[in-house]
Amino acid sequence: MEADPKRVAAWLVAIVVPLIAGMVLIGLIKYVAPQLVIEIIKEHFAATVGLPMAALLSAFIVTGLRHTEGPIKFEGLGFKFEGASGQVVLWIFCFLSIAAAIRLLWSVG
């Protein structure tokens, strides 16, 4: 049984990206004053936690759709997106819609 390089790459990204994000967070907590980190997170929670989570959720949505239904293809506004460009455009749409929802639902001030 041979491993599909695209599937291996997708699993590597799904495992490595959260690990790197965790290491960055641990390094931030270890080398920056905890009170400063807590203050920044409290004041800018939507930006420090919400947007990175939106990016990860968008990536998992696109990856999940690709693995369940095959290559992503769609047309709109006179453009035709297939293959990797379809995935990138779908990720951008997902990220922007989640970020817009965070902005609309977040009570600012």
Q: Which two tokens stand for residue 30?
A: 């270890």
Q: Which two tokens stand for residue 86?
A: 């379809």
Note if the pTM is more than 0.75.
no
Closest by Cα among 82, 91, 85, 89 to 63: 91
Q: pLDDT per residue over 42-72, tens digit each?
A: 888 888 888 888 888 888 887 777 666 667 7
> Domain map of the chain by residue range?
5-105
Q: pLDDT per residue over 5-50, tens digit each?
A: 878 888 888 888 889 988 988 887 788 888 888 888 888 888 888 8
